[in-house]
Structure 1
Amino acid sequence: MCFSLCGLKWRETLGYGSIRWAQTGSHTQTWNNPSWFSALIKCLPIFCLWVFLLAHGINFLVAHRSASRILAGLIFSAVGDAFLIWQEQGYFVHGLLMFAITHILYSSAFGMKPLDLKAGFVMTLLSSFCYTFLYCYLSGPFTYLVAVYIALIGFMGWRAIAGVQLSNDLWTWTKLSACIGAVLFMVSDLTIAVNKFCFPVPYSRAIIMATYYAAQMLIALSAVERISLSLKVH
Structure 2
Amino acid sequence: MQITKRNIELRVDDSLMRVYLVAPKVPGQYPGILFYSDIYQLGGPITRLADRLAGYGYVVAAPEIFHRLEPIGAIIEPDDLGKMRGNDDARRTAISEYDGDAKAVIEFLKQESLVIPEKIGTMGFCIGGHLAFRAAFQKEIKASVCCYPTGIHSGKLGKGIADTKERMKEIEGEVLIIFGTVDPHVPPEGRQEIIQTLEQAGVSHKILIYEADHTFMRDDGYRYDPVATDTAWSEITTFFKRVLG
TM-score of the pair, normalised by structure 1: 0.32
Structure showing the higher strand proportion among its residues: 2
Larger helix percent = 1
Which one has a bigger Cα radius of gyration?
1
Q: What TM-score, normalized to structure 2?
A: 0.31
Question: Per chain length, whose mean CA-contact separation is higher, i.e. which structure has more relative contact order (CA < 8 Å, sep 6+)?
Answer: 1
